[in-house]
Homo-oligomer: A and B are copies of this chain.
């Protein structure tokens, strides 16, 4: 049985710090009973508790309590404790008020629908961008965690910027890919999502332009941070409409342009070299900052050679990336690469947001990279994902009816499958769901009515057998309406 909580009494004003004598304790308790209008029946601190708190002997406290009992202010109940006497002259305090909960901000109108979890058991998820857990290096990661969790220096400190050895190893890897990155300019984050939030906080920007459609959690973040967000229409079959983008950028004058240049989510599109150059030139002419999300560039083989905005445009381009999709979603580790102007504010913004991330996870990732496990893992992963991508293309070519088209991104976790505009995607989704095949329509990733009528096909999560089954069912359902 839990005991009634005892009264907290403030003894600090009586001979602060020095040992209290019996009469000082008596005075303190009496003072408190008067100034606080203590209710009869309230429990006093147990003798051992008060003796401990004040650093004095239990005998002294007991003697003081005996005196209070003798004066009739306090009564003792055997084995239960000491209580304010029921006939003491103090006034009864009313029971504590129940406090009303504080008011919250309204959620964006589309919030519920976009968060709706599709929780079908044993369904084939055709639209996932996650990697098959079977392909993840669990044993090697466990070994890294085992090593670092024993290091005492990791336990009591955390670094708002991220632990230095991890930042160094990330910088080296980026430099090897032609990306200007110094360890001093890297800030670790809880995935790409926190990276986006930290950049928004540090820049304080009020207007952002990004692809339409865009990464839907990013869009939601901008909305919740009350940032006006402008869509730059992207069609993964035709790429950037250079003239349209230039018109929109000049008209809306965004402070920042946020672009996913490799394997854009949800379309799977990768920018052409010429498109990257247009964006860099507009940035110079129009004076907007660039935030490049390069989440996918290490996902498939050959991708190492793909240029990025940061590689082309220098360290003025803010660059974010994550290990979530390539190594282990459960690490929740990504990073921002800033430059001498922005990094101090990025670090301050991250410190304000969370002080720092778990150095255990940071150190485990660092160990994983340092032992060369990541390179081995990437090579194996790339080989398997290449195979799955080829398998997916082959299945689509074998089964898809006329009128259906898809992109050939060559990498990343997903391609875009487009069906004729007159096919009702929501009906198709429902008929697939009835057959335990899931597709995500990504409508929340668009600004306004989607200009595409398709969805992602992800090939990183499903085994070739599951993919074959899923695509076969999709083809059957499409043939019913085409």
The answer on a CB contact under 8 Å between B8 and A52 is no
What CA separation (Å) do A159 and B334 show in the bound complex?
17
Check B191–A354 contact: CB distance below 8 A.
yes
Within 8 A of B (CB), among A138-189: 138-139, 141-142, 145-146, 149-150, 152, 154-158, 176-178, 189
Interface presence of A233 (CB below 8 A): no
Instruction: Let me know if B156 and A329 touch, CB within 8 A.
Output: yes
A309, closest chain B residue (CB)? B99
Closest residue of B by beta carbon distance from A176:
B2
Q: Is A452 an interface residue (CB 8 A)?
A: no
Question: Does A74 sit within 8 A of B, measured CB to CB?
Answer: no
Nearest-neighbor residue (CB-CB) of A36 within chain B = B274
Tell me if A236 and B12 are in contact (CB < 8 A): yes
Map CB proximity to B onto A321-365 as digits: 1 under 8 Å, 0 otherwise: 000000011111100001101101110110111111111110000
Residues of B with C-beta under 8 A to A131: 156
Contacts of A115 on B, CB cut-off 8 Å? 348, 351
Question: Total interface residues on A, using CB and 8 Å?
Answer: 158
* A441 CB within 8 Å of chain B: no
Known contacts A329-B156, A331-B358, A352-B197; A316/B93 CB under 8 A? no
Asked if B150 contacts A280 (CB within 8 A), the reply is: no
Inter-chain contact A194/B353, CB cutoff 8 Å = yes
Task: Report yes or no: A344 in contact with B145, Cβ–Cβ below 8 A.
Answer: no
Bound-state CA distance A133–B205 (Å) is 41
Q: How many copies does the complex hold?
A: 2
A50 nearest CB across to chain B (Å): 8
| Distance in Å: Cβ of A60 to nearest Cβ of chain B | 13
Q: With A3-B305, A311-B5, A332-B158 in contact, is A53–B280 under 8 Å at CB?
A: no
Contacts known (A131-B156, A224-B348, A410-B54); A355 close to B97, Cβ less than 8 A: no
Cβ A405 vs Cβ B93 within 8 A: no
- Whether A475 is near chain B, meaning CB under 8 Å from some CB there, is no
Say whether A138 contacts B133, CB under 8 Å.
Answer: no
Among the stretches A104-112, A369-377, A421-429, A465-473, the one at the interface with B is: A104-112
Q: Is the CB of A146 within 8 A of B142?
A: yes
- Chosen A-B contacts, 21 in total, with CB atoms closer than 8 Å, are A3-B305, A5-B311, A13-B237, A42-B273, A48-B302, A96-B280, A96-B312, A98-B316, A100-B316, A101-B338, A102-B256, A102-B288, A102-B316, A104-B203, A145-B146, A145-B360, A193-B353, A197-B354, A224-B352, A331-B360, A353-B353
Which listed residue, B155, B276, B328, B355, touches A193 by the CB 8 Å rule? B355
Q: List the B side residues contacting A274 at CB < 8 Å.
A: 32, 35-38, 93
A41 at the interface (CB under 8 A from B): no
A307 CA to B141 CA, complexed, in Å: 43
Task: Check if A16 sits within 8 Å of B330, measured CB to CB.
Answer: no
Residue A289 is within 8 A (CB to CB) of chain B in the complex: yes
Residue A69 lies at the interface, judged by CB distance under 8 Å to chain B? no
**Bound-state Cα–Cα, A146 to B12, Å:** 46
Provided the pairs A330-B154, A358-B330, A360-B331 are in contact, do residues A283 and B99 lie with their beta carbons within 8 angstroms?
Answer: yes
Task: Mark the stretch among A386-394, A432-440, A443-451 that contacts chain B.
Answer: A386-394
Contacts A5-B178, A272-B7 hold; do A332 and B305 have CB atoms under 8 A apart? no
Given contacts A52-B410, A100-B284, A104-B202, contact A8 B358 (CB under 8 A): no
Interchain CB contact under 8 A, B142 and A36: no
* Residue contact B287 to A100, C-beta cutoff 8 Å: yes
Asked whether B331 lies within 8 Å of A96 as measured between CB atoms, the reply is no
- When chains A and B are docked, how far (Å) is the Cα of A341 from the Cα of B104? 8
User: Does the CB pair B178–A2 fall under 8 Å?
Assistant: yes
Point out the residues of chain B lying under 8 angstroms from A265, CB to CB. none
Residue A211 CB within 8 A of the other chain: no
Q: Which of B97, B302, B316, B354 contacts A194 (CB 8 A)?
A: B354
B17, B107, B317, B331: which contacts A400 (Cβ < 8 A)?
B17
Q: What distance in Å separates the Cβ of A419 from its nearest Cβ neighbour in chain B?
A: 12
Find chain B residues with CB under 8 A from A6 CB.
305
A338 cross-chain contacts in B, Cβ below 8 A: 101
A411 in the interface, Cβ–Cβ < 8 Å? yes
- Which chain B residue shows the least CB distance to A331? B358
Residue of B nearest to A190 (CB): B354
Specify the chain B residue showing the minimal Cβ separation from A327: B155
* Contacts A8-B270, A52-B390 supplied; 16 other A-B pairs, CB < 8 Å: A5-B307, A10-B239, A46-B302, A48-B302, A53-B302, A97-B281, A98-B314, A107-B344, A115-B348, A138-B155, A142-B149, A146-B146, A157-B329, A193-B353, A224-B349, A332-B357
